[in-house]
């Protein structure tokens, strides 16, 4: 039981924030960034007509338009500047060092920028556009932030133009994903609230590990109405509200929770955790199916492209 309990931990809290995610914030939102690591090999490296490496680690403000890569996509050649790579993930101001210079973009960041640019171009070719209203709605749902550009800019120490560009890029990629794989119908389940248990005695002295473990086990096995409500809401149509039990013993939740006593107003944290695992498995399965569809699509999209990076400097 101790080993089982060690695996029952509160899940990581969601809620994206540009400020606490740093310059790679949009990697958490853009599906291209999620898939990109698997697809580097789908690019034909080299052959884009670029010259040797830049052989420098920093750029002045006047050098921001230096070309750091070239790529072809469907026969069209494009150049990528340091400015474009930096602005794909942050504002120029926030990327500036104490001396007013900028790090030469790393190869990873250049690849990230090119992949996103190709995906964004595909979205635009499909007629996908973004209004301010759509961007603000997207920001509220994705970032959990106040829906106005000025507040988002202030919160994340960015300027409004940068915020709009980052939001637009992310929104276009999100909508491209939706066209390819369809909108997700599964909602990530909320982790059940862990019950409280004593870690000190009445005198305020710390209990031993064995005593704490015993208190935790007891709390996990103590039934209450909140955990019953949590399970029933997750189970949905599998639960017969009139009878106060499972509609069928071979349902997904009924099978997973067969070793726990579930009543309409009584269930344990252990049972709630088991229900959470069922719900998360369903959510994860759908996410993986969508991921594979997008991955295959982007792989084919990138297979028509080649890239030549002028810098392999690592940050």
Tokens at 247, concatenated: 């509609």
| Per-residue pLDDT, 314 | 46
Which carries the bigger pLDDT value, residue 294 or residue 200?
Answer: 200
| Per-residue pLDDT, 301 | 86
Q: Is 70 exceeded by the pLDDT of residue 285? A: yes
| Per-residue pLDDT, 300 | 87
Kindly report, residue by residue over 154-165, the tens digit of the pLDDT. 887 788 888 898
Kindly report, residue by residue over 58-101, the tens digit of the pLDDT. 899 999 999 998 998 888 899 999 999 988 877 788 889 999 99
- Range with the lowest mean pLDDT among 41-45, 68-72, 80-84, 289-293? 41-45
Q: Among 221, 215, 216, 228, which residue's Cα sits nearest to residue 270?
A: 221
CB 243 within 8 A of CB 194: no
Which whole number is the average pLDDT over 255-269?
97
- Range with the lowest mean pLDDT among 30-44, 61-75, 112-126, 265-279? 30-44
Which whole number is the average pLDDT over 263-279?
97
| Per-residue pLDDT, 106 | 85
Confidence band, pLDDT 50/70/90 cuts, at residue 312: low
* Residue-by-residue DSSP string for 131-161: -HHHHHHHHHHHH---SSHHHHHHHTT--HH
Confidence band, pLDDT 50/70/90 cuts, at residue 145: low
| Per-residue pLDDT, 38 | 36
| Per-residue pLDDT, 16 | 31
- Range with the lowest mean pLDDT among 51-65, 107-121, 282-296? 51-65
Which whole number is the average pLDDT over 105-123?
88
Q: Is 90 exceeded by the pLDDT of residue 249? A: yes
Confidence band, pLDDT 50/70/90 cuts, at residue 10: very low
Kindly report, residue by residue over 186-219, the tens digit of the pLDDT. 788 999 999 999 999 999 999 999 999 999 999 9
Confidence band, pLDDT 50/70/90 cuts, at residue 264: very high
Other beta carbons less than 10 A from residue 228's beta carbon: 21
Mean pLDDT score of the chain: 81
Q: Is 90 exceeded by the pLDDT of residue 109? A: no
Q: Is 70 exceeded by the pLDDT of residue 33? A: no
Distances (CA, A) of 35 to 116, 162, 184, 269, 297: 11, 24, 17, 35, 10
């Amino acid at each position: 039981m101790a080993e089982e309990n060690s695996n029952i931990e509160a899940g990581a809290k969601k809620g994206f924030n540009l400020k606490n995610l740093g310059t790679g914030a949009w990697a958490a939102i853009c599906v291209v960034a999620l898939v990109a690591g698997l697809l580097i090999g789908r690019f034909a490296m080299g052959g884009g007509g670029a010259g040797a490496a830049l052989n420098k680690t920093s750029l002045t403000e006047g050098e921001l338009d230096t070309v750091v890569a070239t790529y072809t996509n469907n026969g069209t050649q494009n150049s990528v500047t340091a400015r474009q790579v930096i602005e794909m993930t942050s504002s120029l101001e926030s990327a500036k060092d104490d001396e007013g210079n900028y790090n030469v973009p790393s190869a990873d960041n250049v690849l990230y920028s090119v992949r996103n640019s190709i995906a964004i171009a595909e979205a635009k070719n499909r007629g996908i556009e973004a209004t301010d209203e759509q961007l603000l709605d997207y920001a509220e749902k994705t970032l959990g932030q106040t829906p106005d550009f000025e507040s988002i800019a202030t919160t994340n120490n960015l300027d409004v133009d940068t915020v709009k560009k980052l939001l637009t890029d992310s929104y276009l990629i999100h909508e491209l994903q939706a066209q390819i794989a369809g909108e997700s119908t599964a909602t990530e389940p909320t982790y059940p609230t862990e019950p409280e248990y004593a870690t000190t005695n009445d005198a305020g002295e710390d209990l031993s590990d064995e005593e704490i473990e015993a208190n935790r086990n007891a709390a996990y096995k103590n039934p209450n109405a909140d955990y019953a409500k949590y399970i029933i809401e997750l189970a949905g149509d599998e639960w017969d509200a009139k009878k106060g039990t499972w509609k069928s013993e071979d349902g997904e939740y009924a099978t997973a929770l067969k070793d726990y006593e579930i009543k309409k107003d009584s269930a344990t944290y252990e049972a709630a955790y088991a229900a959470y695992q069922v719900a998360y498995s369903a959510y994860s399965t759908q996410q993986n199916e969508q991921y594979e569809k997008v991955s295959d699509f982007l792989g084919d999209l990138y297979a028509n492209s080649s890239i030549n990076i002028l810098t392999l400097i690592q940050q």
